[in-house]
Amino acid sequence: MIKYCWSVFTTVFFAALSFGQVEDSLQRQQEIIEGEQFIATVNASLQEFYKEWANSENYDSIVASLGYVEGQVPEFDDSVYCQRLDDMNEMSPFHYACNPTVLSTLKYFTKNRRRFTSITLGRSKLYFDMYEEKLDKHNMPIELKYLSVIESGLRPQVKSRVGATGLWQFMYRTGKKYGLDQNSFIDERMDPEKATEAACLYLKRLYNAYDDWNMALAAYNAGPGNVNKAIRRSGGKTTYWEIRPYLPRETQAYVPNFIAMSYMMTYHVEHNIIPAEAKVYDFELDTVCLSQGVHMNIIDSLMDWSMEDIQFVNPIYKTSYIPKTTPQQCINIPVTKVNEWIAMEDSIYALDSAIYNLPIEEELAKLKSSTEDYHKVRSGENLWIIARNNGTTVARLKKLNPGINHDRLRIGQRIRIR
């Protein structure tokens, strides 16, 4: 009887204890959920504020006040262009010349580069704040941000026919010289922040050499060697417009293009050009650092964050694999997905390891198994012969291969048999 009573007591006691532990656990989980909900609410409010601030210009009302209709391409007198360039000169160390070459380039841009201007204005929402921060750090003209528009159209993964790569179009050797590493998986010329830092250092060096920003731009495009040759051929002239006839043809157009693009980005509304919708704003991104290498498709499968979007905000990676490095690789991630990443990180690594780190024997067995599930149709075969030779039935084959035509099998056609 005593033994029975003690058994009942211990059962009730531990049940009560377990219930209390469960209750405490549930309470802690509820506190975590409430904390995450609070953080999510704060983040959402901040995102909304930043987005409203980034889009504070009411383009519709501005365009309406100018009396434009949709698709209208405004035209102005040369004196208007020159006055606007003069106004830009007042606020810039660049010399925005108003001469026949610049006017011709401007008019081409206002008619033929309208869509390009709209698209790059949208892309600028991801990069221009960072550009301005870097340029300010180096005490350099803010207008240099427009140089990247001319170089790459603000596409970090673009590569020219001669191999120049990234937002600032660094050649391989120049990139290495300014600290941009490259290997089979990573090309830091495509890293927006690192490439911008390198561009600032290179442009500053060129400006110190020529003491003129237009000459520095020419040297950035053609290389200092070609600029120095042009100086000698011009009889020792030291300004861009004086040496321009002696520069390579591409560089003769380079500074006028920069002036025209600077003008377009400044006066786009006056030309009835509205920025395209930004795919991503810089304030919508945070960073997380990886303790292991991982394939982007694994992240995609577990987080509903597409490979395309992962690559868009992480253009530094040449393939869909993010390697393990020291120091750790830190990737850009939407602020809204940071909590999900924290919750799923261990599962992401585990699944990646399970899929991509199989012993070679298992990989071969997996490959063999997948090939044994299918039969390649040979000459003279029909479904009955294929079914007989593979230990199955015609009905089963038809079920595994919906829409298959019994009478019209093609030689080489793959038939699923299991």
61: Cβ contacts below 8 Å, ≥ 6 apart: none
| Contact between 317 and 311 (Cβ < 8 Å) | yes
Long-range contacts of 221-229 (CB under 8 A, 24+ apart): 221/250, 221/251, 221/254, 222/247, 222/248, 222/250, 222/251, 222/254, 226/251
> What are the backbone angles phi and psi of residue 319, rounded to the nearest 5°?
-130, -170
Encoded amino acid at 43, one letter: N
Sign, CA torsion 290/293/299/302: negative
Cα distance between residue 164 and residue 157, in whole Å? 10
Residue 172, token pair as written in the block: 């391989």
Contacts of 191 (CB under 8 A, 6+ apart): 156, 166, 180, 315, 316
Report d(CA 216, CA 235) in Å as an integer.
19
Rounded-to-integer distance, Cα 337 and Cα 347, Å: 15
Distance (Å, whole) CA 326 – CA 187: 16
Q: Quick one: which of 326, 337, 341 has its CA closest to 291? A: 326
CA–CA gap between residue 311 and residue 379 (Å, rounded)? 45
Residue with tokens 């469960």: 22
Phi-psi category of residue 58: left, alpha or beta, with phi > 0 → left and psi -120 to 50 → alpha: beta
Q: Which two tokens stand for residue 124?
A: 């600028």
CA end-to-end distance (rounded Å), the chain: 63
Angstrom distance (rounded) from CA 41 to CA 134: 31
Let me know if 23 is a catalytic residue.
no
CB 346 within 8 A of CB 294: no
Catalytically annotated residue among 151, 188, 284, 345: 151
User: Which pair of structure tokens corresponds to residue 307?
Assistant: 């490979």
User: Which amino acid does the sequence have at 411?
Assistant: I
Asked whether 267 and 80 are in contact (CB, 8 A), the reply is no
Which residues are part of the catalytic machinery? Answer: 151
